[in-house]
Chains A and B, each alone.
Chain A
Amino acid sequence: MPPVEHDSFGGRSLFGRPMQRRSFLKAVLAAGAAPGLAELLAACTGSGTGVATTAATPKIPSPSNPVRWPLSAKHPAIKAGLKPKPGSTLRIYNYADYLGPQVIKSFEAKYGVNITVSTFNDEDEALTKIASGGLGLDLYFPSYDSLGKLVGAELVRPLNHAYIGNIANVWPQFHNPWYDLGWRYSVPYSVYTTGIAWRTDMVKEDIASRSNPYDVFWDPKYAGNLAVIDDWHTMMGMVLLRSGIHDINTAKPADIRLMHNQMMDMLSKTHPRVTITMYNDLPAGQYGLAQMWSGDVVNAQYYLPKGQSADVLRYWFPSDGRGMVDNDLMVVLAQGSNPVAAHYFINYMLESKIAAKNFGYIGYQPPQNSINPDELVRDGFLPANLKTATVLPHYFDVGSRLLQLPPKADLAYHQIWQEFKAGA
């Protein structure tokens, strides 16, 4: 039985990713010359909200523009052939309940290492604390778009692939991912889609059979009965997808204007709730319809009140895979004192059996070859009515990814989001 409080589950950075991302390449370049953050700051003071100071647009990692991060000179990879010291401590930094407790226990038993798990609510909080450096954390679970910041600020340690033979168990897409060519710093942890979830007892139509299911968020019929995800890019990406714009990182002024109008229109037509606690609110009957992450809808079944059958839950994601798909990672932090155990743990999590066990607990699917995405229902990972929450490998070829935005577009997106949230 999964746990309570999956706050901001699944590693989506909740706020302001592109603002952070936009300068990372510059930072990465600068990192070669190893200046302190302070010097970078001095150069950039005053780049407030509205101020886009970066003149040259840095290269943005994207599927069509893959990035190979420089190896950190300050923090070299560990040597091969080491063993974790029994009795040592492995400090893991993660979202709450995003790692199965049995998995932790079995690792501790197998290697004699003590594991402590500290948790955070969103990635910005996490990055701030990691950057402060004093926590000595070994292992962190970011989403792929934080990687630039982590590498840029030299907070992560390159991986020694000799320890991570189980990478072979992972979907081939992730053996050389565009966000980290040669997986120098990261291995994939979970995959998820962003779609629409609803309860059949509160929504009397089959959303999936609409010609454009995203329209429901503008249908006055559902005013007050729906919620959207409190993550600016995830929510705004959905608005673009509804208008048939599959480049959810568009910087075209016309697209951005359209998005702005659509969002204000939504506000006046359905005044949605903006939250990330759908996995709790939807089962509780606070609303019947929500934009939702696939892993959260899987979890939602455990939050239903007693006597309420999970049959009422439904999830829609475009069957051709042309929606939002994302993945989370595991990285070794440079500040940790136990990088060897961290490598062993990463390898352990990629073991097919362990990954499956962990999936059963966290509800977020690992990209494992051994887990047959077509048979998740048969294998007991998903109830039949939530088969649509399955993440298929080919989604990552056709789906839309949330990327860093060029500074001007980033500013425009943020301003619209701010306006939306202010309820103007």
Chain B
Amino acid sequence: MPDRGPRGQRLFWPLLALPGTVWITLLFVAPLYVVLAVLFGGVDPILRQPVPVWDPLQWNFSQFDYVLGHIVGPDGFFGPALVRTAVYVALASGVCLLVAYPVAYYTARFAGRYRGVLLALLIAPFWISYMMRMLAWVNLLQNDGLVNRVLSLGGLYDVHVDWLDGRPVTVVLGLVYGYVPYMVLPLFAGLDRIPAAVQEAARDLGAGRFETFRRVTWPMSRTAVVVSLLVTTLPMLGDYYTNDLLSASPSTSMVGNLINNSVLTPGQTGQAGAFVMLVLLVSIIPMLIYVRATRSGVEVQS
């Protein structure tokens, strides 16, 4: 009897972690291993489908070498697409933040009794498939679409912008439009947690509106900003359909397109694995920043 309580507890707490562990194992670790097995595996000689090799001792690194060897240098034709990805994603995330922060701030602080409604409206875009929303833009941005007609004030001016002809700006704005709702929610959650009393105290102690924001609100929302940036940046890194739908021109190819192209090309599937690993490595860095940020966030609170 006496040791039953502690023992039950010893089992109980790890048990709570079980669903999460199973989930992560099944849906992250195992697939990641499959990616590795394909990346370092072989190719079916007739149908050119990838044949995963499960034994790491028999792994073949030629596909990985091939990708790495074509990023920089005279044969570095993957390089521009990777740089493009970084620039597009950085720009899109920046614009997302510029749009989402004020919205989240307003909702958290000033929406009053409308905040429930506002939140629902902010989530509303989720109710419509991402694909549908992008296809809608294709219609709007067409040469004779609504956007051009509005810009030309109903035919008054001759505005002839071919939005869909492979313009980086269209792709970046498409990304912003697609991912901005994902940013508003974590920002709202973070800003909502900042006690109003702290901000009032800052005002009481003589800080102006801007000073209060700079010295109190912004530092206290930094964790939320990092989280929201991660939530939008990571999926953007793998996005290819925004690009396919709004541009479809190689001149705006991103790493997601490289992955998609390789997956669809028999015999090149392993290269897709290589790009996936590259993206993963690159995205681990912000992940570490995030972990640090949340840790320091806890310290501030306590």
Contact = CB atoms under 8 A, between A and B. Distances in A.
A397 interface: no
B211 interface: no
Contacts of A358: none
Nearest to A31: B46
B174 to A, nearest CB: 15
Contact of A48 (B60, B76, B80): B60
A41 B51 contact: yes
Give the bracket for the number of chain B residues in contact with chain A. 35 or more
Contacts of B248: 227, 273-275
Contacts of A43: 45
Given A14-B264, A49-B63, A285-B142, A128 B81 contact: no
B269 to A, nearest CB: 9
A237 interface: no
A284 interface: yes
Interface string A278-296: 0000001111000000000
A48 B249 contact: no
B249 A273 contact: yes
Nearest to A19: B267
A254 interface: no
A15 interface: yes
Given A128-B47, A271-B250, A421-B257, A286 B164 contact: yes
Contacts of A131: 47, 49
Nearest to A43: B45
A318 B45 CA distance: 37
Nearest to A410: B267
Interface stretch (A185-193, A209-217, A344-352, A412-420): A412-420
A80 interface: no
B28 interface: no
A15 B265 contact: yes
Contact of A16 (B51, B53, B257, B266): B266
Given A149-B46, A423-B253, A271 B267 contact: no
A274 B144 contact: no
Interface string A131-144: 10000000000000
Interface string B135-152: 000100011100000000
Given A46-B62, A128-B47, A422-B80, A273 B267 contact: no
Interface stretch (B36-44, B96-104, B282-290): B36-44
- The listed residue with most B CB atoms (<10 A of its CB), out of A49, A127, A152, A223, is A49
B266 A15 contact: yes
Contacts of A122: 264
Contacts of A124: 47-49, 264, 266
A43 B266 CA distance: 18
Contact of A26 (B45, B165, B166): B45
A153 interface: yes
Contacts of B44: 37, 40-41
A418 B77 contact: yes
A387 B191 CA distance: 65
Interface in A238-292: 267, 271-275, 284-287
Interface string B148-168: 000000000000001011100
Contacts of A202: 143
A14 B263 CA distance: 12
Nearest to A26: B45
A414 B164 contact: no
A152 B60 CA distance: 26
B165 A225 contact: yes
24 contacts: A16-B48, A16-B266, A19-B267, A24-B46, A27-B46, A44-B45, A45-B41, A46-B60, A46-B62, A47-B45, A48-B267, A49-B66, A49-B267, A51-B62, A124-B266, A225-B162, A225-B165, A414-B265, A418-B261, A422-B80, A422-B253, A423-B249, A423-B251, A423-B253
Given A127-B47, A131-B47, A424-B79, 19 more contacts: A40-B44, A40-B45, A41-B44, A41-B45, A43-B45, A46-B42, A49-B270, A124-B47, A124-B264, A202-B143, A271-B166, A271-B251, A272-B249, A285-B142, A286-B164, A420-B250, A421-B261, A422-B253, A423-B249
